[in-house]
Structure 1
């Protein structure tokens, strides 16, 4: 892999490359579309020494992956063949397919979160169309993580949910968020956890919050651990109305989050229907869903909640974005061993792209992963909901 080759020779490249060659490489990479003009100018103007310019250049290109790294190696060979040979590099001219990769081709997913560069952050801070992120605010990030695994009625236990909790906690921490974590809550306890979170003293200093809730669900609600099979439509159910999240974190109830991104992720079914044709051919499949009707009857879907996303007051509910694990009235799936499909895909996409993409683009890439998702004819499609972001929000991991 060319990016690993650049990593191998990084130290010698920084020590040996001349300023003139750096400028020529920048011109070549801008022409190829590997770098844009702002990135090129940032490398030259925001780094005083030749070594810092070289270090910044190779780090940015290396993070862009194998095709970009291959192009840099090719250009280095033509611009300074002696340095190319000294570094012990090898390359072949990228093919036409490599220079213009098919966007539908799956990327090389990263197992760990790729960090953004200081230069990328500084460049974005001059962009008035994004939410401002300072290093001080980054250090005060806060997230709420609620995972229901064990239920009073043991047949509703969510096998694999412990993997979801572990994966989300690691991701949130890597993104710079202090994680306030709860496990196995009733609907009332979920409500109290949100109220307590909305009063957390750290919120006044953060740049954003993330709220992740994972449980069984129905349309407009997530279910508490005391949920049961209702005997009739009007029987009270242990549930937390998702709409309350927006109320409890709204501008009037939580002024500390005024004009700050509030990112909501919910892994729970929103109904009982399948997202596609399903033929079950085993008694205990590894892939199950977070609807308590599977395999036994579940609460009827509430007619209100998430489908009704009309804003009563645009400034009262602002700067939200939500990713729900499935479309209305349908189920979402969870692997008994690896955890929810949604959470697996979120971790992969965020690890690989959060250093360069804003949250809406990250959510779109998560949704795109589900286009070809099919296990035993099961289908699932997450949906972005209730988005009132007025700017783009970047996580800037590793800032």
Structure 2
């Protein structure tokens, strides 16, 4: 049985002490609602016997239980590897039609665990997968400029420390570290800036658009992370831009609502600086823009009266509507002061484990799906990232590792 094989293969990486910890998990119940396995059955150091017991006890849930046991042991990398292997097994099995309304959420769409850490490596794309795509769908895919992995430059701007200490973005250094790691792992040369004013952000994007390296590149990323807000025609949070409507802006590090209210950078200027007129070197090449910033003061949830039985009365302000931004217009973005922004963590996690088989729009949609169900956000506090102003005319695969 393939499930037994892949679980056994992963457990081979546990030393004897760690295997005993794994067995302890099984004997004491991996989760509160999981029936423990009898200690008498697990008096062994034979991994195949242990796996036989897991499959016999938990049947179709054996893989999920094994993954959770590894997570409980803080073996997050092994847990993720087992998840991926189980998904591969599942993908080649004949699907069975059944009532799935109450089925558990697929493992690949589950929220990030509380003990999440950045993966040690990115899953590489297979040569066969890339060759098949470039052969069968060549006219529908953005083609790499070289036979190796994607080639291009990336701009990473992170504002962490502000003149007003109340605005300091504790934990954002983790976002910077994680995004630099991801972009580098994807093959991009990263130009990094920290703690810029609004004018300095604008200058950095303009200068980046003029880089000669873009002529030989096949794509680019621009990532901007700071505080932000939004002006809209229903009334702006900041009244200093009354002539502008429906515009997202990023706060510079010298921003102050009264003393320096115009230290901002408008997000839509990024599209202007990188468009065909101002950056002809990137014509016909994907330009991916990621923005981690608030877009207003709304908590993100609204209370629905007479809601459907057994549903959450607090729902996302907008959902199920067909640049990638960390939150919806008018809604606050959330960040852990220890681990960084949830949006960035999900991007790093999803790209690291799925970019080898999915195009970028699929990766974005998977991030949205996972964050929609994140238990950190309950009642009126909701966080849902937003795919918008997207004009890709072909499918963009990153082909990591090739």
Q: CA RMSD in A?
A: 3.1
Cα offsets for 1:78-105 (capped at 9, x unmatched): xxxxxxxxxxxxxxx99969xx9x6832
* Residue matched to 1:393: 396
| Residue from 379, 383, 387 that aligns with 1:384 | 387
Contact 1:131–1:391 (8 Å) recurs in 2: yes
Contact 1:138–1:207 (8 Å) recurs in 2: no
TM superposition shift of 1:4: 6.2
2:138 is aligned with 1:118: no
Cα offsets for 1:136-172 (capped at 9, x unmatched): 5746321100000000111100000000000101111
| Residue from 166, 178, 183 that aligns with 2:177 | 166
* Residue matched to 2:333: 332
* Distance 1:139-1:236 versus aligned 2 partners, 3 A rule: same
2:270 is aligned with 1:259: no
* Residue matched to 1:104: 105
* Residue matched to 2:376: 375
Cα offsets for 1:33-89 (capped at 9, x unmatched): xxxxxxxxxxxxxxxxxxxxxxxxxxxxx99622534898xxxxxxxxxxxxxxxxx
**Correspondence 1:321-360 to 2 at 5 A:** 322-360=323-361
- Alignment partners' CA distance in 2, 1:137 and 1:228: 47
* Distance 1:396-1:67 versus aligned 2 partners, 3 A rule: closer
Cα offsets for 1:287-345 (capped at 9, x unmatched): xxxxxxxxxxxxxxxxxxxxxxxxxxxxxxxxxxx101111111010001000010011
**Correspondence 1:186-335 to 2 at 5 A:** 186-219=197-230, 220-230=248-258, 236-276=261-301, 322-335=323-336
SS of the aligned residue for 1:263 comes to: strand
TM-score scaled by structure 1? 0.64
- Alignment partners' CA distance in 1, 2:91 and 2:335: 40
- Alignment partners' CA distance in 2, 1:137 and 1:66: 29
Contact 1:125–1:133 (8 Å) recurs in 2: no
- Alignment partners' CA distance in 1, 2:183 and 2:83: 21
TM superposition shift of 1:389: 0.2
- Alignment partners' CA distance in 2, 1:70 and 1:249: 42
Contact 1:147–1:182 (8 Å) recurs in 2: yes
Q: Give the aligned length.
A: 281
Contact 2:144–2:150 (8 Å) recurs in 1: no
- Alignment partners' CA distance in 2, 1:175 and 1:142: 11
* Residue matched to 1:18: none
* Distance 1:236-1:335 versus aligned 2 partners, 3 A rule: closer
Contact 1:367–1:381 (8 Å) recurs in 2: yes
- Alignment partners' CA distance in 1, 2:367 and 2:325: 11
Instruction: In structure 2, list runs of 5 or more residues that go unmatched.
Output: 13-81, 113-117, 231-247, 304-322
**Correspondence 1:10-89 to 2 at 5 A:** 65-69=85-89
- Alignment partners' CA distance in 1, 2:255 and 2:145: 42
* Distance 1:354-1:139 versus aligned 2 partners, 3 A rule: closer
TM superposition shift of 1:205: 0.9
Contact 2:175–2:340 (8 Å) recurs in 1: yes
TM superposition shift of 1:237: 1.8
2:190 is aligned with 1:145: no
